[in-house]
Amino acid sequence: MSTSTFKSDKVRASVRGVIGTAVAVPLLFSAVPAMAQSQQEQMQQLRDQIQQMQQRFDELQAQQDQLKQAQDSPRSDKQLVSKSEDGEGFMVGDTNVKINGYLKFDAIYDFEDDHGTSLGPSDAIGTYNAKGTDHPGDADLGATVKQTRLKIATTTPTDFGDVGGYIEMDFYGSPYDDSFDGGPSPRVRRAYLTLGNWLIGRDWSTFSDFNYGTTLNFYGPQAQLFERQAQVRYTMDAGENTSVDFSLENPGGGTVLAGDDTDPDFRGLEDGTGTENTLPDMVVRLQSSSGPFSVQAAAIGRYLKADVNDVTGGDGSDEDSVVGYGLNLGGSLSLSSGTTFMLSSVYGKGIGKYVYAPAGGADAYVTNDGDLEALERYGFIATLSQELTSTLTTNLIYGKAYSENPDDFVGSTDDLHDSSSSAHVNLLYTPVDPLTFGIEYNRVDYETQGGVDADAQNVQFSTIYNF
């Protein structure tokens, strides 16, 4: 019985195998075209994917080539703007660039009249009439941001050493506009390059002396040595904390007094004619410091030349010349108590354009004999600066300037400058490092050779943000 069952199972298995084969063979042959079509589609998709990958690879290769070319170019983004290694400024290519300056807001209350954004001798002159009677006008209040200053300094390494550049601007415009109503516009104050010990361009004159305290008033004290002009300067090391400067500077800007036909707004400056620019002004300066003490000594030589007939309105040509000179001595002493004393002094002939008495004063005059003579000027500035606290500082600054009364002048000397003085008292509050608030009282007194005197005064409020 078991044998019969065994054989029956084999027969049923054989039958199933035959039937499966009979069904599978036709199905297999029918699936071959479908499989072939599917493979073709897959191959096409694969080719499309390879083509897309090739296109993407070409794009990446092109981008890599452009990046490499840009890195080699001096105008690449990477080189145009990058961080300086020392954390100061930023890099433009190989050039380090530093930008700083300050924003200054001034509100000025004039007691007598509208003196504009600054206070000088010409403002005092404006307070008396033709008879010489002091007549203060109405009080005036004005505000401005024209003293705001922007400074850009650059340094570029070269095979000859570091080449530096410097540009400084304020917003008094050109020509100079100190009114409250005029809109701020940029004006280049200084612009020069440096290479090693050389400076070439427009900078403060080497004869300038800044041994006086901080004033909020833009003009600053009387008798200051004040001039910015084109020059070539060489500075050499003369020992520890000691240097000597030699410079050749632009001689232009000098004026000549020549009779009574003068501009009444400036009381004695001959309008329209100045000295001829034949030779550069020559300056030598010594600066040294040791501990709390610093000193400056400077000397200037000038060659003044003018056509005397031209400035007096005569006919023909009668040129004359004279040598001008000036001497300066200044210094400061800082004490541990927070007290600083400063002194600046000057004496010379033919240095009117350098001595603020007022600024732009005449350099020479014409004598009764028709000769050209250098005009004598001298003055001083004394400063007491005191740190009251870590955030409060006060400055007391007094300046006095004198001009000679030439007894051989071809015209009348009554309206010419005899003496002028300025007094500044201020309080500066610096609650945080970049921000300063200040208040200052300013007074200017002016006296003519004829004995007429007048004064002008104001109070100034300032806010300064250094950046």
Q: Give CA separation, 86 vs 96, 155, 213, in Å.
A: 10, 13, 32
φ/ψ of 22, rounded to 5, equals -65, -35
Do you know the residue count of the chain?
Answer: 467
> Measuring CA to CA, how many Å separate 6 from each of 3, 9, 13, 14?
5, 5, 11, 13
- The gap from C-alpha 219 to its chain's centroid, in whole angstroms, comes to 16
Question: Does pLDDT of 62 surpass 60?
Answer: yes
How many alpha carbons fall within 13 Å on the CB side of residue 394?
A: 6
The Cα-based distances of 380 to 345, 419, 435 in angstroms read 4, 12, 31
Distance, in Å, from the CA atom of 239 to the CA atom of 231, rounded to the nearest integer, reads: 25
When mean pLDDT is compared across 10-24, 159-173, 290-304, the lowest value belongs to 10-24
Measure CA 355 to chain center.
22
Q: Give the tens place of pLDDT for each residue, 399-432.
A: 999 999 999 998 888 888 899 999 999 999 999 9
Q: How far apart are CA 162 and CA 195, in angstroms?
A: 6
- The amino acid present at 320, given as its one-letter code, is D
Q: Where are the domains of the chain?
A: 2-72, 101-466
Distance of CA 298 to the CA centre of its chain: 24
Selection from 16-25, 281-290, 453-462 with the highest mean pLDDT? 281-290
Instruction: Please indicate whether residue 256 or residue 435 has the higher confidence score (pLDDT).
Output: 435
- Alpha-carbon distances of 142 from 110, 111, 179, 438, rounded to whole Å: 8, 12, 9, 16
Q: How far is CA 317 from CA 255, 276, 309, 373, in A?
A: 18, 14, 6, 17
The answer to whether the CB of 198 falls within 8 A of the CB of 232 is yes
Residue 401 one-letter amino acid: A
Nearest Cα to Cα of residue 177 among 127, 101, 117, 222 = 117
Asked, as a colleague might, if the bond just before 175 is cis with ω within 30 of 0, I would say: yes
| Cα dihedral value 54, 57, 63, 67, nearest 10 | -140
Phi, psi of 252 (to 5 degrees): -70, 165
Task: Specify the pLDDT at position 416.
Answer: 87
d(CA 194, CA 160): 12
pLDDT band per the 50, 70, 90 thresholds, residue 314: low
Scanning the structure block, which residue is given the tokens 């361009």?
Answer: 201
CATH superfamily of 101-466: Porin (2.40.160.10)
At 77 the pLDDT is 47
Pair 155, 162: CB distance under 8 Å: yes
Radius of gyration for the chain, computed over Cα atoms and rounded to the nearest angstrom: 41
For range 337-366, the mean pLDDT:
90
Q: What are phi and psi of 298, to 5 degrees?
A: -140, 155
* Per-residue pLDDT, 115: 80
Sign of the alpha-carbon dihedral angle for 312, 317, 322, 326: positive
C-alpha triplet 114, 120, 125: angle, nearest 5°: 70
Beta strands 376-387; 364-366: pairing state: unpaired
Pick from 2-6, 428-432, 460-464: least confident: 2-6
Q: What is the pLDDT of residues 221-278, one digit of tens each?
A: 999 998 999 999 999 999 999 999 999 999 988 888 887 654 433 333 344 467 888 9
Q: Are 251 and 277 in contact (CB under 8 A)?
A: yes
| Token pair recorded at residue 225 | 């040595």
pTM higher than 0.95 for the full model?
no
